[in-house]
Amino acid sequence: MRALKLHELSLADRLADRAVDALIDEADLSPKPALVDRRGNGAHSDLHLGLMHASALSLWPMFKEMAEAALDIGEVGLPLREALGRIGREGEQAMLATTQGVNTHRGAIWALGLLTAAAALEPRAVTLTAAKLALLNDRYAPQPMSHGAQVAQRYGARGAREEAQLGFPSVIQRGLPQLHKSRRANAGEQNARLDALLAIMTDLADTCVLYRAGTQGLAAMQQGAQAVLGAGGSATLAGRRQLHELDLQLLALNASPGGAADLLAACLFIDRLDGAL
């Protein structure tokens, strides 16, 4: 039998691979403050690493379908936006079936779904294209009182929707530059990824943290992340001490930065697009 060559995989196959790889790499990265990682479940009593992996794998057909919809429809507009909304909602159901009802990747479906479709459509303007899609209003989207919606009412933070509509500033202006900077400083790949996560955390209005721990939790997350980077980052002894402090502090506040984790996955996805697809 002839071996399947890599180039025989379709573009949609390869994009789905990259999206799932980004989610697995995010989950495996350790030690992440108060998040699920190789060490344990962080501030999430209902999550564990195996569940994050199973959830990520369950989303592969969804990402593929999103890329195919982008290629079939061929342009940014309401038909593609509403196709992505439908596929995303079905993906969310697949995720919930796999996890028996636990929300493992809701924010990631949104961010990586838009980016996967955008990468299929406009590989040279991925975040801009994702932003254009996010700005369109899906007429069929339900309007549930999600945690994000409650936080928006209470604190005015517009969360995952706004981050995408602005073209993922946390990824473009914080995560990716820090990833490259730490790589250049020979921090090692895992430390560079931790530093990218921390850079995202310094400035993000993470609605997971706001919902669970209010503005006190958000300030602890942002200042603590800044303190790690200020001490030299994850690759240094001083930085590691600060990171350990941040982990303890966020655990005490039950403040898990799930939005920042999703955006790290988005960051790793975009970083990989720069290689050959």
- Interface residues toward ligand ATP, by CB under 6 A: 26-27, 35-36, 42, 44, 47, 52, 103-108, 147, 208, 212, 256, 258, 261-262
The span of 38-46, 141-149, 223-231, 243-251 binding ligand COD (CB under 6 A) equals 141-149
Longest dimension (CA), the chain: 61
8 A C-beta contact, residue 212 and residue 234 = no
Residue 208 interacts with ligand COD (CB under 6 A)?
yes
- Residue number of the CB atom closest to ligand COD: 148
The secondary structure of residue 172, as a DSSP letter, is I
Would you tell me the crossing angle of helices 207-230 and 189-201 to the nearest 10 degrees? 120
Q: Phi and psi at residue 146, in whole multiples of 5°?
A: -65, 165
3-state helix, strand, coil in the chain (%, to 5): 70, 0, 30
Asked if 82 interacts with ligand COD (CB under 6 A), we say no
271 scored as a contact of ligand COD (CB under 6 A): no
Position 27 contacts ligand COD (CB under 6 A): no
Nearer to ligand COD, 88 or 233 (CB): 88
How far are the Cα atoms of 61, 93, 107 from residue 144, in angstroms, in the given order?
A: 25, 15, 15
204 binds, options ligand ATP, ligand COD, none, Cβ within 5 to 8 A by partner type: ligand COD
**Site size toward ligand COD, by CB under 6 A:** 30
Q: In the bound complex, what is the minimum distance in angstroms from residue 221's beta carbon to ligand COD?
A: 11
Determine the residue type at 92: E
And the tokens for 223?
A: 């200042």
Name the site residues for ligand COD (rule: CB under 6 A). 84-85, 88-89, 92, 106-107, 109-110, 113-114, 138, 141, 146-149, 159-161, 163, 204-208, 258-259, 262-263
